[in-house]
Amino acid sequence: MADNDSLVMTDALRTELNNITSTQRAAVLMLLLGEDQAAEIIKFLNPKEVQALGHAMVQVADFSQEAVNVVLDEFVEHLKKQSTLSMGNTDYVEKVMRRALGDDKAASVLGRIMPGQGTKGLDILSWMDARGIADMIKGEHPQVVAIILSLLESEVAADVLIYLPSEIRAEVIQRVASLDTVQPSAMAELEAIMKQQFSKSASAQSSSFGGIKAAAKIMNLTKTELESSIMGGLNDIDPDLMLKIQDNMFTFENLVSVDNKGIQVLMRAVEPDMLMIALKGASDGCKDRFFDNMSERARGMFKDDMEAKGPQRMSDVEDAQKKIMRIARKLSDSGELILGGADFV
């Protein structure tokens, strides 16, 4: 292994090192560790961190061998400076995490492995399952429930709705859509629910949560039957708000606005049988969007198989469309296609 002191630091190498981010340095170390060790580390990261690290691991493929050597040498030198007693203390762990991942990402990881180290109580929600969250909040005021749903990832929030009492679901979504800012007093109440101290830095200003787009994202990810029930209840409470949420929801028909490349990506990710069922209830324009992206031979075979399936129950058609939309959302989140139509992304 090259020693940094003996390595000739050219201007080009110095520039390359200055442009390497903390995440990319972590990516270099992950690639050098090997699959088994890297997999063990990834278990401690949340989905967004894994995505960022994975993206960086692709980027570092173009790094020079000299730059890789320097990154590794710096890490090893840092470890050599630690005494045996310091290797296991929290200060050491925090320093290594921050050096490897940067302040923001390290804070999230530290909050998971050392929950007593100044972590906000509400951050714990990120590591709970939907049923556990629902059990904790189902007896709370709908406004409190709405704020908590707004803090969650849309997929998790949609699952939490399943376990909430049916009589409050519509009101909760109404309140999510109506949220704008949450005052410190309300945040303090949420922290009390989690039985954690409200951090000093978060108590001085209002926080932005929720809104119509947040409500639409949650509703996009609920099951068909639950969506119909909630939207019906919301229509009774506030018809105008229901329409606004509906306008911001990305439906199967909105796929007409996705470009050819995106449609092709989606078709590769969806089972043909599921697509056949979904298209049974689609408009001619939506059907043509998919048919136009098939070869003439494939289109003929697909239409024949689709016709052979015969009539389908509307609930099955809606379920297939919902599943395809969830796949489309995941592909959109990973940058593989761009969803058009309503401002859904």
Is the Cα torsion angle 173, 126, 201, 192 positive or negative in sign? positive
What is the pLDDT averaged over residues 176-192?
70
Q: Which of 100-109, 110-119, 220-229 has the lowest mean pLDDT?
A: 110-119
Whole-number pLDDT of residue 116: 47
What is the pLDDT averaged over residues 292-311?
93
Give the phi and the psi of residue 214 in degrees, each rounded to 5.
Answer: -65, -40
pTM of the complete model = 0.40
Q: Measuring CA to CA, which residue among 228, 221, 285 is closest to residue 255? A: 285
Whole-number pLDDT of residue 149: 87
Sort residue 319 into left (φ over 0), alpha (ψ -120 to 50) or beta. alpha
Q: Which of 11-15, 82-86, 162-166 has the lowest mean pLDDT?
A: 82-86
Whole-number pLDDT of residue 295: 93
Q: Which residues of 262-293 are buried (b: 16+ CB within 10 A; e: fewer)?
A: bbebbbeebeeeebbbbbbbbeeebbebbbeb
Given the candidates 3.30.70.3270, 3.40.50.510, 3.40.50.970, 1.10.220.30, the CATH classification of the domain at 252-333 is 1.10.220.30
Q: Which residue in the block uniquely carries the two structure tokens 């969803």?
A: 339
Q: What is the pLDDT of residues 251-275, one digit of tens each?
A: 888 898 888 999 999 999 999 999 9
CATH topology classification for 126-248: Annexin V; domain 1 (1.10.220)
| CATH topology agreement for domains 126-248 and 252-333 | yes
Q: Measuring CA to CA, which residue among 86, 55, 41, 64 is closest to residue 72? A: 64
Residue ranges per structural domain of the chain? 11-118, 126-248, 252-333
Q: How far is Cα of residue 315 from the mean position of the Cα atoms in its chain?
A: 28
Of the pLDDT bands very low, low, confident and very high (cuts 50, 70, 90), residue 206 is very low
Distances (CA, A) of 167 to 130, 136, 163, 210, 218: 18, 17, 11, 21, 18
Q: H helices of the chain, where? A: 11-18, 22-33, 35-42, 47-59, 65-80, 90-101, 103-113, 130-137, 142-151, 154-163, 166-178, 184-193, 212-220, 224-237, 239-248, 260-269, 272-280, 284-291, 296-308, 314-333
Q: Which of 59-68, 73-82, 101-110, 315-324 has the lowest mean pLDDT?
A: 101-110
Q: Report percent pLDDT > 70 for the chain.
A: 68
Sequence-distant (6+) residues with CB within 8 A of 26 are: 53, 56, 100, 101
Q: Which of 104-113, 216-225, 226-235, 315-324 has the lowest mean pLDDT?
A: 104-113
Whole-number pLDDT of residue 103: 63
Whole-number pLDDT of residue 7: 53
Whole-number pLDDT of residue 340: 56
What are the structure tokens assigned to 297, written together? 């031979």
